[in-house]
Amino acid sequence: MYRTLKTTNLKLFLCLLLTLSLSSCEYVDELLLKFKSRPSKEGMVEMIGNEILYAEDLQSATLKASSPEDSAQLAERYIRQWATPILLYNNAKRRVGTDDDIEQMVESYRRSLYVQKYEEQLLSQRVSTQLSNDTLLSFYEANSDRFILSENILQGILIVTPKKSPQLKELRKWLKKGIDEIENIERFAYQYASAYQLFTDSWQKVNTIAENTPLDAVDLSKQMAKHNLIETTDSTSIYILSITDKRFAGDNMPFEFAEPEIRNLLLQQRKIDFIKQYEQQTYYNWKNQTK
């Protein structure tokens, strides 16, 4: 029966770990050098059948030890993690014996891995990942009911500025007009803002924008349902959000927001079609050769 730490070498190894007064790292380095200087059998810590654990295998497990006792515990843990799957496998194999079903499953899995690896190579070599904007847009228009928002999204401008910044009154007027006053807004942001986000041409999730304000996503969603200019504060700053466009959960996704999903769907379908064609052609080639 297997016993953890049963060999003489391991006992010596742990004994020294527990008694040496030098620092753990220096001690382990010196000890491993001694083990490495011996023939491979002499450096053996444990052996289960043909599986051998050498002292040098413990090096990575004990390098961070803070004391000899800690080193011993880390070594024991490493040995247990090494030995347990080997013991479980040996026990199972000994009791199950030769099982034709298992061998067939192993062979089937091995074949599947080969086929999968080769098909992945074919896909990378022969299947283009290029999709035109017209192709994406056509698919979107034909399947727009498939792309429904599960959360609120928006486009706009977010400025964070100190409460005592000059021209706040003018800034609010500029933000109400949005992109039409972008030059004035950006000039103010450059001079006074502590944070500035311009996302008038890209859709952002409400959660993402809320993370940059004192509001949570629920409060921000409630306010964006009623207003296009939202203002809130904390102890030092004013947060002003100008919303130039918005969509709510349950609405159809805008094309720009749906585009990554559409691209992924079309590429996956292209790959599936290629593999089907390859498998069919492989079969037809074999049939023709056997005639």
Cβ proximity of 148 and 251 under 8 Å = yes
Cα separations in angstroms, 249 against 21, 142, 151, 227 = 66, 21, 4, 17
Average pLDDT rounded to a whole number, residues 153-181: 95
Looking at per-residue confidence, does 97 or 268 come out higher? 268
Residue 251 has pLDDT above 90, yes or no: yes
Q: List, for residues 21-70, the tens digit of each pLDDT value.
A: 334 445 445 544 444 444 455 567 788 888 888 877 777 777 777 787 88
Query: Tokens 């024991």 identify what position?
Result: 76
pLDDT number for residue 34: 44
Give the per-residue pLDDT at 111.
94
Residue recorded with tokens 């490495």: 36
Q: Is the pLDDT of residue 119 over 50?
A: yes
Residue 172: pLDDT over 90: yes
The phi and psi torsions of 266 (rounded to 5 degrees) equal -70, -40
Residue pair 157/200 in contact by the 8 Å Cβ criterion: yes
pLDDT at 2 over 50: no
